Amino acid sequence: MEQDTEDFPVDENPEAHQVAQHSEARSTLKAKRTRLRSIGYTIRSNKVLFLVVAIVLVVLGANVGYRIGTAINASKSQESSREARNERVYTVDAVFEQIRAQNTLVCASQQYDLCHKVESSNRDLLKLFNLPFTRNRYYLRYVGTIQAGVDLKTAKIVRKDVDKSGKPKSVVVELDAPKIISNTPDMDKTDIYDEENNIFNPIDPKSVVDLEKTCIEESSKNAVKGGLIDQAKVFAQQNIQTMLRGAFGSKVKVTINWRS
């Protein structure tokens, strides 16, 4: 009985086969390395691109932030300026309160120099004639400065006209009429001259005091007659107008209504 046999191929060159396998493995490894390099290059390229994009975004963000901040600051500055202007415009009453806080406004002054003679003698019991050897006499020179002013405590704004922005164009102020506020003697110049005393009729100190009072009254009357009060009215208006113009501009007009 014959058995069928199958012929199996016999590797006649095993070394060549191993070389081929080794070459194929090297080719495969080389291909893998090439692929890995490509992937690494792609990753590095993507990282660089990402970094560039990030830097660009940061720069753009900083620029936009700077512009927004500048715009906000400019807006705040304009708003602050606007508020400052509005505050300056709408503080007429506040400024006037500061003026009133001065209490008294000295508007005009003048110096005076008076001289009075005082002479007296003892009289007889019936007051008919002067007794001999009883005369006394002296001259009083009275020098001083008299001032006229306005009482600001009673000052009042009765009307104020403002423009569209609220800035005052004119202000009407009501005041009491000026008056004599001080009468101060100059004691370095005030003195008694050519004194003639008498042991039988010495000079009475009270007469000197009375004469000083007379000089004060006389100087006040002379000042009023000489126009000191009228001068004080002019300077009062100028002074108040100067103070208000210093706060609100040179075009502000101030009118004074004087109380009787």
Three-state SS annotation for 98-162? HHHCCCEEEEEEEEEEEEEEEEECCECCCCCCECCCCCEEEEEEEEEEEEEEEEHHHCEEEEEEE
Say if residue 144's pLDDT is above 90.
Answer: yes
User: What pTM did the predictor assign?
Assistant: 0.56
The domain spans of the chain are 16-89, 91-259
According to the model, what pLDDT value does residue 65 have? 46
DSSP state of 1: -
Give the pLDDT confidence of 168-211 residue by residue, as tens digits: 888 899 999 999 999 999 999 998 887 777 666 677 778 788 88
